[in-house]
Amino acid sequence: MASASPVSNKSFINVQWVWNASPNPFSKSQNIEWRRYSDVENMIIEKAFTTGETNAILDDYHIDFKHSVQISNDDIHKQRPVKRTVCDKDDRILREERFLPNPVPPDRPFGGQYGFISPFIKEVVKDLNLTKKQLPSKDKTVVPMIVEKAASGIIEEGSEQHEQVWRSKIRTLGPFCLLLWDNPFNRKLTKPGTILYRGAKLSADLIALFKDDCPKDPRPWHSFQAFTSCTRNASVAENFGNVLFIMKICLAFTVDLTELSKYSYEEEELLFPGVSFTVDIMEFDKKKNKHLIYLTLQQRHDKAEQHHVYKNAPQPSYDPQTPPDTSAYISAALVLGEALGSGDPDAIAAAKAALDRVTADAHASGVFDHAAAFSGSVLDRVASIDDDYAVAGAADCDGHDDDWK
């Protein structure tokens, strides 16, 4: 895709470029169907327009500002009218391309449970020849190398003309995805009980798949296969599709993009690939004319998956089938988090002292060494989970129907 230099975000917020999507775009008698350009395309077009360029170059088209038309780069006879709309300062444009799913497999927006680490990330780590101690959150010296590869890959992908299967993206987009997945600067878990929303446009067959899961006991686990944009604002997600996913987090890795995005009002939260879920309740809301699907999000792991991520490194000397008992440390850390949230100095001091004691005991018993060898990088954030359902229950979101009412 064409690139744009950094410019002030404010200059784009209230301007939207649209193109005529009617079957006969130059007809005077037909109703006009205007469609918005994506947020990235809008930024490129608006920058070219405000800097006095005669054209804005996109992947397959260019915009001729003098004649207000979109022209195909392959056939100059393929043209469509475009126009620039200036919105009221209070108008907010919601980006459909961010909040409707675009899954890798087109017939199913989720896959079977595969734990913390998606197959794509596993292959990226292998391609970069990284060991368990060299992931970005553990070894800052590798970050510049991965950032350079990520930037080069994004530039190369921007010049691609045709989409290929995900394996072809390992070298180009893989380093960027690895940095996003194993962020060396953000190791914060989303608070248990947080509710996220996502709109979807699903076929009747896909809706039936979700419905079939509800009565099963135990409920089957599935997992998201890609980075998935959600929102903490239900009204944002309700604008899209015929399905509204309502997702309660028990333990999951996400990135809050609100402070980083120029569309902060969307309250966007990025869900990591590999987050597992169960389908708990499904109902139809006649007022919204949407299917409501309630999910419980629970980070789970496959004890054998460390072999795939750390294939370039020697395996740990610990028994890989016996996870370390870090329950005391996790509990103390959660208590400290609650104390920090309360702002009570006495509670914070007591929680810090308790965590220090547990940490010293954990170091003395080798728990942390075991956790690092067993889990590595992202798994270290929560050590390991002996009983996923026990953790979910402690977070008061075990997936039971009553939790949603």
Phi and psi for 108 in degrees, rounded to 5? -160, 120
Q: How far apart are CA 58 and CA 3, in angstroms?
A: 9
Residue 388 lies in a domain: no
Mean pLDDT of 98-105: 42
Residue 195 sits in the same domain as residue 143:
no
**Residue 253 token pair:** 């890795």
Q: Within a domain: residue 399?
A: no
pLDDT band at 152 (very low <50, low <70, confident <90, very high): low
Instruction: Give the chain's mean pLDDT.
Output: 69
Q: Does 175 share its domain with 229?
A: no
Q: Which residue has the higher pLDDT, 258 or 120?
A: 258
Q: Read off φ and ψ for residue 185, nearest 5 degrees.
A: -115, 0
Arithmetic mean of pLDDT, 213-225: 83
**Statement to judge: residues 155 and 243 lie in one domain:** no
If you search the block for the tokens 């944002």, which residue do you land on?
A: 236
Can the peptide bond before residue 136 be classed as cis, meaning omega within 30 degrees of 0?
no
pLDDT value at position 68? 95
118 contacts 182 by C-beta, under 8 angstroms: no
As for how many domains the chain has, the answer is 4
Note whether 272 and 216 are same-domain residues.
Answer: yes
CA 385 to chain centre: 22
Name residue, tokens 């998606």.
118
Please tell me which residue, 287 or 181, carries the higher pLDDT value.
Answer: 287
> Is residue 386 domain-resident?
no
Q: Do 209 and 126 share a structural domain?
A: no
Tell me which residue of 388, 402, 391, 101 sits closest to 245, measured CA to CA: 101
Report whether pLDDT(193) > 80. yes
The 3-class SS string of the chain reads CCCCCCCCCHHHHCEEEEEECCCCCCCCCCCCCEEECCHHHHHHHHHHHHCCCCEEECCCEEEECCCCEEEECCCCCCEEEEEEEECCCCCCCCCHHHHCCCCCCCCCCCEECCCCCCHHHHHHHHHCCCCCCCCCCCCHHHHHHHHHHHHHHHHHHHCCCCCCCHHHHCCCCHHHHHHHHCCCCCCCCCCCCCEEEEEECCCHHHHHHHHHHCCCCCCCCEECCCCEEEECCHHHHCCCECEEEEEEEEECCEEECCCCCCCHHHCEEEECCCCEEEEEEEEEECCCCEEEEEEEEECCCCCCCHHHHCCCCCCCCCCCCCCCCCHHHHHHHHHHHHHHHHCCHHHHHHHHHHHHHHHHHHHHHCHHHHHHHHCCHHHHCCCCCCCHHHHHHHCCCCCCHHHHC
Same domain for 199 and 149 = no
User: Does 389 reside within a domain?
Assistant: no
pLDDT for 67 equals: 94
Structure tokens at 116: 């913390």
Model confidence band, residue 375 (pLDDT cutoffs 50, 70, 90): very low
Same domain, 194 and 254: yes
Alpha carbon distance 46, 4 (integer Å)? 10
Task: Say if residue 154 is in the same domain as residue 213.
Answer: no
Q: Which domain holds residue 201?
A: 97-104+188-299
* In a shared domain, residues 343 and 293: no
Closest CA to 232 of 255, 200, 250: 255
Cα–Cα nearest to 245, from 231, 259, 258:
231
Segment 378-400 shows an average pLDDT of 41
- What radius of gyration do the chain's Cα atoms show? 24
CATH of residue 30: 3.30.720.50
Q: 258 pLDDT exceeds 70? A: yes
What whole-number distance in Å separates Cα of residue 49 and Cα of residue 63? 10
User: What is the dihedral angle through the alpha carbons of 132, 135, 141, 145, rounded to the nearest 10 degrees?
Assistant: 120
- 294 with 192, same domain: the answer is yes
Mean pLDDT to the nearest integer, 319-334: 50
Say how far residue 33 (Cα) sits from the centre of its chain: 31
pLDDT > 90 fraction of the chain, expressed in percent and rounded: 17
* 398 within a domain of the structure (yes/no): no
The reported pLDDT for the residue numbered 100 is: 47
Amino acid 46 reads: E
pLDDT at res. 177: 59
Entry pTM: 0.49
Indicate whether 400 belongs to any domain.
no
Greatest mean pLDDT among 17-31, 88-102, 116-130, 247-261: 17-31
**Distance between CA atoms of residues 21 and 18, nearest Å:** 9
pLDDT at 256: 84
Are 154 and 74 found together in one domain? no
Q: Which of 182, 203, 236 is the last residue of a domain?
A: 182
| Residue 404 domain-assigned (yes or no) | no
Model pLDDT, residue 294 = 94
User: Residue 237 sits in a domain of what CATH number?
Assistant: 3.90.176.10
Residues 210 and 212: their CA atoms lie apart, in Å, by 5
Q: What is the dihedral of CA 153, 158, 161, 164, to 10 degrees?
A: 40
What pLDDT is stored for residue 17 in this prediction? 92
Q: Identify whether 397 is part of a domain.
A: no
